[in-house]
């Protein structure tokens, strides 16, 4: 039975429901089908981890949730529902209204995310332009939130420029700015990848703590399964532009169903017990997204592939309640022959 609609753990109901989203990039070398038929829900107040190898479309999905896709991107199909609105059809003004109010984002590289020519205070005050507060009150809020992200001596930091802060401090400033807007959804696209391991742990702990305090939903994109396991309630696994498996963190980490998820976990340095910061590697490489394969996208690298995998595109099968994977092995009516 194919899994449809409300699948993941739904305590509070979905904040955002992505339904069959497909995104193409037009390039000189042809059309890149970067997202194909992706469905996913972000539940209110929960942290959803998005994992997968480099190039599988995590950032594309994250950016499509905040309307910041590149100019050559096209949403060719699908809907992104938030409340009673479909974000996929929003115009520029509609997006601008959501950004920095209901949706905020933290980026991968804190070294370049802040404006180098404006001081921290000015940047934190500018983003509060919607609040009807005096400048002094906005300053006070900025100081309060710098304190929330545990920046020492926050008042003095307002007059400082980004280049005078370390990478970890800058990422804290970015987090403070994102939270300052009190978003319903916080998108974090690999917020710790550019930081070293100790800082990474500090930032992840901080995110966990602040998420609980502010109660916003978080889409946490990461290469690093260890941080995902630590931080996330739910996990979605992407491969070559498709959503191949999704479920609760417990289900994904303890009972992975898709051979790709299993391979990812097997390659995780934390699991194999070697202290390296190498990204997970699985033999073989991603298929060309300009000509996605007909059957299962992972077939060429799958140790368990069989006849049907080449011809039929697998639907999302239910493994357990709120847990599904796109793999023919999960088809209850079909025994492996």
Partner 1 sequence: MLRYALQRFALSVVIVMVAIAILIVMLHVVPGDPAVMILGPRATPELIAQTRQSMGLDQPLPIQILTFFGNILHGDLGRDVFTNRSVAQIVFEQLPYTLVLISVAILWSAALGIALGCYSALRRNTWLDTLSGILSVGTISIPSFVMALYAVLVFAVWLGWLPSIGAGEGLGGSIIHLILPAFAIGISWVGYVARMVRASMLEVMSYAHVRMARAFGLRERLITTSHILRIAVQPAVTLIGTGVAHLFSAAVFVEVIFARPGIGALIVQSVNERNYPIVLGAVLVTTAIIVLATLISDLVIAWLDPRQREEL
Ligand X SMILES: Nc1ncnc2c1ncn2[C@@H]1O[C@H](COP(=O)(O)OP(=O)(O)OP(=O)(O)O)[C@@H](O)[C@H]1O
- Which residues contact ligand X (rule: CB under 6 A)? 25, 27, 32, 34, 52, 54-60, 70, 72, 289
Using the minimum distance from each CB to ligand X, give the nearer residue, 58 or 326: 58
Q: Could you write out the DSSP letters of every residue in 202-247?
A: HHHHHHHHHHHHH--EEEEE-S-HHHHHHH-SEEEEEETTEEEEEE
Using the minimum distance from each CB to partner 1, give the nearer residue, 101 or 250: 101
Count of residues that bind partner 1 according to CB under 8 A: 30
Decide if 51 contacts 222 (C-beta within 8 A).
Answer: yes
Instruction: Read off the DSSP letter of residue 329.
Output: G
Q: Where are the alpha helices (DSSP H) in the chain?
A: 58-64, 92-98, 110-113, 120-126, 135-148, 154-157, 167-180, 197-214, 225-231, 249-254, 259-267, 269-272, 307-311
> What's the min distance (Å) between Cβ of 235 and Mg ion?
17
Pick one of ligand X, partner 1, Mg ion, none as the site partner of residue 104 (Cβ within 5 to 8 A by kind): partner 1
Return the axis-axis angle of helices 167-180 and 197-214, rounded to nearest 10°. Answer: 10
Pick one of Mg ion, partner 1, ligand X, none as the site partner of residue 300 (Cβ within 5 to 8 A by kind): none
Residues 48-77 binding Mg ion (CB under 5 A) are 59
Residue nearest to ligand X (CB): 59
Q: Map residue 251 onto helix, strand or coil.
A: helix
> What's the min distance (Å) between Cβ of 108 and ligand X?
7
Alpha-carbon distance of 41 to 50, in angstroms, equals: 12
Alpha-carbon distance of 74 to 96, in angstroms, equals: 18
Under the binding rule (CB under 8 A), the answer on residue 220 touching partner 1 is no
Per-residue binder mask for partner 1 (CB under 8 A), 151-170, x = binder: ----------x-x-------
For β-strands 73-82 and 85-86, DSSP reports them as antiparallel
Residues 92-111 binding partner 1 (CB under 8 A) are 95-101, 104-105, 107, 109
Rg (CA), the chain: 21
Structure tokens at 235: 């996990």
HSE (side-chain half, CA atoms, 13 Å) at 301: 19
Per-residue binder mask for partner 1 (CB under 8 A), 175-214, x = binder: --x---x---------------------------------
> What's the min distance (Å) between Cβ of 277 and ligand X?
15
Which listed residue (22, 31, 119, 202) binds partner 1 by CB under 8 A? 119
Residue nearest to Mg ion (CB): 59
Pick one of partner 1, Mg ion, ligand X, none as the site partner of residue 34 (Cβ within 5 to 8 A by kind): ligand X
Using the minimum distance from each CB to Mg ion, give the nearer residue, 71 or 84: 71
Beta-carbon contacts of residue 159 (< 8 Å; ≥ 6 apart):
119, 120, 121
Under the binding rule (CB under 8 A), the answer on residue 335 touching partner 1 is no
Using the minimum distance from each CB to ligand X, give the nearer residue, 60 or 257: 60
Under the binding rule (CB under 8 A), the answer on residue 174 touching partner 1 is yes
Q: Count the neighbouring beta carbons within 10 Å of the beta carbon of residue 156.
A: 11
Using the minimum distance from each CB to Mg ion, give the nearer residue, 59 or 257: 59
User: Which residues contribute to the site for partner 1 (CB under 8 A)?
Assistant: 66, 68, 95-101, 104-105, 107, 109, 112-119, 126-127, 129-130, 161, 163, 174, 177, 181
User: Which residues contribute to the site for Mg ion (CB under 5 A)?
Assistant: 59
């Amino acid at each position: 039975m194919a899994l449809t609609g409300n699948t993941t753990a739904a305590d509070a109901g979905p904040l955002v429901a992505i339904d069959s989203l497909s995104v193409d990039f037009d390039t000189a070398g042809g059309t890149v089908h970067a997202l194909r038929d992706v469905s996913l829900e972000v539940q209110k107040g929960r942290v959803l981890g998005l994992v997968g190898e480099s190039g599988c479309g995590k950032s594309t999905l994250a950016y499509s949730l905040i309307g910041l896709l590149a100019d050559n991107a096209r949403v060719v199909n699908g809907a992104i529902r938030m409340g009673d609105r479909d974000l996929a059809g929003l115009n520029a003004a509609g997006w601008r209204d959501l950004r920095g109010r209901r949706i905020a984002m933290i980026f991968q590289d804190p070294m370049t995310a802040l404006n180098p020519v404006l001081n921290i205070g000015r940047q934190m005050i500018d983003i509060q332009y919607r609040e009807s507060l005096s400048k002094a009150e906005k300053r006070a809020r900025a100081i309060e939130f710098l304190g929330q992200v545990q920046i020492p001596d926050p008042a003095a930091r307002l007059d400082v420029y980004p280049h005078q802060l370390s990478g970890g401090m800058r990422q804290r400033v970015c987090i403070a700015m994102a939270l300052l807007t009190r978003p319903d959804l916080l998108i974090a696209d690999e917020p710790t990848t550019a930081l070293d391991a100790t800082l990474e742990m500090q930032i992840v702990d901080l995110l966990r703590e602040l998420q609980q305090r502010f109660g916003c939903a978080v889409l946490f994109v990461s290469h690093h399964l260890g941080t995902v396991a630590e931080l996330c309630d739910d996990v979605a696994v992407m491969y070559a532009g498709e959503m191949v498996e999704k479920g609760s963190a417990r289900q994904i980490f303890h009972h992975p169903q898709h051979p790709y998820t299993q391979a990812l976990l097997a390659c995780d340095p934390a699991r194999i017990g070697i202290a390296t910061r190498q990204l997970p590697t699985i033999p073989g490489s991603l298929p060309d997204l300009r000509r996605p394969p007909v059957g299962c996208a992972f077939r060429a690298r799958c140790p368990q592939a069989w006849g049907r995998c080449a011809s039929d595109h697998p639907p999302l099968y239910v493994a357990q309640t709120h847990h599904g994977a796109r793999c023919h092995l999960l088809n209850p009516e079909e025994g492996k022959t």
